Structure 1
């Protein structure tokens, strides 16, 4: 009973049983209607930031739901060949990268579209304790069709970077995780939860002693 109560308190303040907060960055706040392409220099969400090393202010683009590159969901697309995209925490703290959805952006010359071999994509994570971790993916997708990439070893990283060659790509549903550090309000909720547990234990003990 006490364990269930503790889990309920943790859930109330957004912490899972392992003390981690999982976030899915889906770019839905950038959704738009029509045949439009909107440029972005950077993008930030829930403490995470995407940046690009190109000198151009046109670093990323998002597409409206009638654009030829729209793949059924709002995504972020790097716009410069040979550019490096970097994901990091805005406060420079460490995080875990769990998975990301990637789609080949350039339209196929085939009609109807046929599967194409997507450019190999390498992700490099900078570990908080020093050193790096690398995952390389080679996959086959249809034009504007997302494929989920799941990472191994990308725990406690301070940043993750990946490059872009032709053809271009777009990405969506970036799943990241950070160890929870409760704010004062959250700690107050936790204290209340433990207090309730303590009161219940005391009452149970007194009741047991009364029956003895």
Structure 2
């Protein structure tokens, strides 16, 4: 009986831990448009519980439309103002892990080296930094972060050469177990001791 209860406890912890970390991929698909230009997007832009804001006062973000020569294969976002900072935060605040991001040249005519440098800030004000140089072929390429765990914000600059971004993958600790999962766990926890007693009674009868 003790072993069964211990197993249930371990299962409960496992289910809770699995639910407590959930990957979110911000893909900007809601911005998809069939034209050949660019669509202006406000600041902050909010998707999947996260927000992107710009330090630019006069302009915010834009997205290339699907028929534009600068469309990099999927709908992305770019800061419309040169040398301005993009800041990623969780809506309402809180820590998250930045796992990866897809980056592409701002336009299809670019071919020069484009550096993109990221700074993550934690709640205790400590920081982590990582930079990437864009791949020479036009289109989105995925870049993975190291050490960007438990950050409360991530900032990067739209510096010369310029870039657009897509598929921002985030592991957030804000997710909670689904009610159905908790209900099933509760049913299992309540039913297990009863099932054990029945099995014990059957063994006794056989003797």
Q: TM-score, normalised by structure 2?
A: 0.84
Residue 34 of structure 1 and its aligned partner are, at CA, apart by 1.8
Higher helix share: 2
Corresponding position of 1:83: 84
Q: Distance in 1 between matches of 2:186 and 2:56?
A: 53
Are the counterparts in 2 of residues 103 and 141 from structure 1 also a CA contact under 8 Å?
no
Corresponding position of 1:200: 191
Corresponding position of 2:70: 69
> Would the alpha carbon gap of residues 204 and 129 (structure 1) be closer, same or farther in structure 2, given more than 3 Å must change?
farther
Residue 127 (str. 1) matches residue 122 (str. 2) = yes
Residue 61 of structure 1 and its aligned partner are, at CA, apart by 0.8
> Would the alpha carbon gap of residues 38 and 128 (structure 1) be closer, same or farther in structure 2, given more than 3 Å must change?
same
The unaligned stretches of length 5 or more in structure 1 are 110-115
Residue 36 of structure 1 and its aligned partner are, at CA, apart by 2.7
Q: Distance in 1 between matches of 2:17 and 2:165?
A: 26
Aligned residues: CA RMSD? 2.4
Q: Distance in 2 between matches of 1:101 and 1:91?
A: 25
> Would the alpha carbon gap of residues 26 and 196 (structure 1) be closer, same or farther in structure 2, given more than 3 Å must change?
same
Q: TM-score, normalised by structure 1?
A: 0.82
Are the counterparts in 2 of residues 117 and 140 from structure 1 also a CA contact under 8 Å?
no
Residue 161 of structure 1 and its aligned partner are, at CA, apart by 0.3
Residue 51 of structure 1 and its aligned partner are, at CA, apart by 0.7
Corresponding position of 1:105: 106
Q: Number of aligned pairs? A: 194
Are the counterparts in 1 of residues 112 and 161 from structure 2 also a CA contact under 8 Å?
no
Q: Distance in 2 between matches of 1:20 and 1:180?
A: 7
Stretches of 4+ aligned residues off by more than 4 angstroms: none
Residue 149 (str. 1) matches residue 140 (str. 2) = no
Are the counterparts in 2 of residues 36 and 63 from structure 1 also a CA contact under 8 Å?
yes
Residue 130 of structure 1 and its aligned partner are, at CA, apart by 2.9
Residue 59 (str. 1) matches residue 60 (str. 2) = yes
